Amino acid sequence: MINELLESIRKRDPAAKSKLSILLTYPGVKALFFHRIANFFSKAKFDLIARMISQFSRFLTGIEIHPSANIGKNFFIDHGMGVVIGETSEIGNDVTIYHSVTLGGISPSIKSHDQRFIKRHPTLRDNVVIGSGAQILGPITIGENANVGANSVVIKDVPADAIMVGVPAKNIAKNNEKNKDKFNPYGVKTDDVS
């Protein structure tokens, strides 16, 4: 499982020189390691221990993942600093997100007790790429193979194979084509935006 994760990161990151380098120096790998432990304690209803592990990981990596978030295999957080993943977030397989991404809720802080145990955060399907600084907010779904450009704000469901850019984000994919090879997670040229 760890070998598969490291190999998947090596394929997605041209800066990754070796699996050992990824294992020892990538904050996303460390955050995911601690999340797996915190998630175990969260599922076992040891919430305080789970949160303490989560906060320790945040201190070490700059990445905050709530212990209850559900994360699939081969999840890659590139760079990582400032990433926040909320409690009811669900992340599929082979998802890539960059630094300063928020998978957050939109519920107001009033009547918090009414919001417990309900879905408040996004679901990312398999093979999603989220560019740096993007904000994915609320109990929405980002479809398979969708891409969200840097600093975009997504507040509505996104179809599969979409390319979302802007504030609020709009789909710029032509004819819902597969755009994996054309997507730039750090932003798009202005002539690509309609």
pTM: 0.86
Q: Other CB atoms closer than 10 Å to residue 156's CB: what's the count?
A: 12
Q: At what angle do helices 27-43 and 2-12 cross, to 10 degrees?
A: 140
Give the separation between CA 98 and CA 80, rounded to whole angstroms.
6
pLDDT confidence of 113, banded at 50, 70, 90? confident
Instruction: Give the residue with greater pLDDT, 20 vs 181.
Output: 20
How far apart CA 165 and CA 131 sit, in angstroms, is 10
Tallying the residues shown for the chain, one arrives at 194
The pLDDT confidence band at residue 183, using thresholds 50, 70 and 90, is: low
pLDDT over 70 percentage in the chain: 89
Q: Is the pLDDT of residue 188 over 70?
A: no
The arithmetic mean of pLDDT across residues 3-11, rounded, is 90
Residue with tokens 């050992």: 20
What domains can be seen in the chain, in order of their start residue? 2-187 (2.160.10.10)
The answer on pLDDT for 158 being more than 90 is yes
Number of H helices and number of E strands within the chain?
A: 5, 15
Burial of 153 (0-12, 13-18, 19+ CB in 10 A): middle
Kindly tell me if the per-residue pLDDT of 95 is higher than 60: yes
Strand partners, 77: 97
Distance CA 154, CA 137 (A): 6
Residues annotated catalytic, as ranges: 99
Q: pLDDT class for 106, splitting at 50, 70, 90?
A: confident
